Amino acid sequence: MTSSPAIEWPPPSRFGQTRRMSETQTPASPAVTLTIAGSEATGGAGAQADLKTFQELGVYGVVALTCIVSFDPKNEWQHRFVPVDQQVIADQLEAIQSCYPLRTVKLGMLGTPATIDTVAAALQSQEWDNVVLDPVLICKGQEPGAALDTDQALKANILPLATFVTPNHFEAESLSGITIESLEDLEEAARIIHRQSGAVVLAKGGVRIEGPDAVDVYFDGETLEVLSSPKVGEVAVSGAGCTLAAAIAAELAKGAAPLDAARTAKEFVTEGIRNRVASNAPFDAVWQGSARS
């Protein structure tokens, strides 16, 4: 009996040598940027928002799906959440990580402690320049209670791997353990989260801090900067957080410094909110394409 030959991976090129990215990439090749995120079927948030953002900002987007969210219009647009099977998540990551020399990953909704373990293992299997964590605990309209076990697992297993983290108001309270009512509170939360994680922090006040401006606090351990733009209405828009973190990841993948990446991302998302896509759900969606025109 003959045994079948071992499969060579990556496959050999036509010229008989193992193909390496450095031989096939041209200087104009876009940086390949991975998002590990959930699908949000209406396209406002999640992997869909990430990929649109990557495309607009000139990086090559790839996605490993962690879950599928379908809002329920018959039940006040509540989230119907289905996690992807753990082996399927691991398989997607294996395919992607074997295919490309990745340096930048954005993490969106992971959704369950089991998924957090699977993703943490994949992250630890290689080195990264940029691990941008949008610590999604709940989505608009969801009950905070459901998120507690995911919150614990995220703090323990993913936050230490992040190089850049973008908590919103709720997530910043949850990660820092303090109540955030003012800009000063948001600054304190950013400092605490940096101390916990070592990551660059962009803590988002969004529409939750009173005043005419949507304020976010950037803190990298040395520089503290308040990024501020006029609020566009008082109602939060679906996908703003995903788009912001994806834009930061895209800019970092292209070589931007963290503060510049945060500034560009804030402008990009503000423009997308200004030109939002109206929907029948209680929240509109960011239009990533609006920065083009």
- Under the binding rule (CB under 6 A), the answer on residue 165 touching ligand PXL is no
Which CB sits closer to ligand PXL, 241 or 258?
A: 241
- Under the binding rule (CB under 6 A), the answer on residue 135 touching ligand PXL is no
Which CB sits closer to ligand PXL, 165 or 188?
A: 165
- Under the binding rule (CB under 6 A), the answer on residue 249 touching ligand PXL is no
CB of 68 to ligand PXL, least distance (A): 8
Q: Considering only residues 63 through 92, tell me which ones interact with ligand PXL, judged by CB under 6 A.
A: 69
Gap between the Cα atoms of 252 and 250, Å rounded: 5
CB of 276 to ligand PXL, least distance (A): 14
Which CB sits closer to ligand PXL, 188 or 237?
A: 237
- Under the binding rule (CB under 6 A), the answer on residue 40 touching ligand PXL is yes
- Under the binding rule (CB under 6 A), the answer on residue 277 touching ligand PXL is no
- Under the binding rule (CB under 6 A), the answer on residue 109 touching ligand PXL is yes
- Under the binding rule (CB under 6 A), the answer on residue 167 touching ligand PXL is no
Which CB sits closer to ligand PXL, 111 or 258?
A: 111
- Under the binding rule (CB under 6 A), the answer on residue 272 touching ligand PXL is no
Q: Which residues contact 243 (CB under 8 A, 6 or more apart)?
A: 49, 50, 52, 53, 265, 268, 269, 272, 286, 288
Q: Which of these, 110, 119, 120, lies nearest to 149 by C-alpha position? A: 110
Binding residue for ligand PXL, selected from 31, 33, 38, 253, defined by CB under 6 A: 38
- Under the binding rule (CB under 6 A), the answer on residue 192 touching ligand PXL is no
Binding interface with ligand PXL (CB under 6 A): 37-38, 40, 45-46, 69, 108-109, 136, 139, 239, 241-242
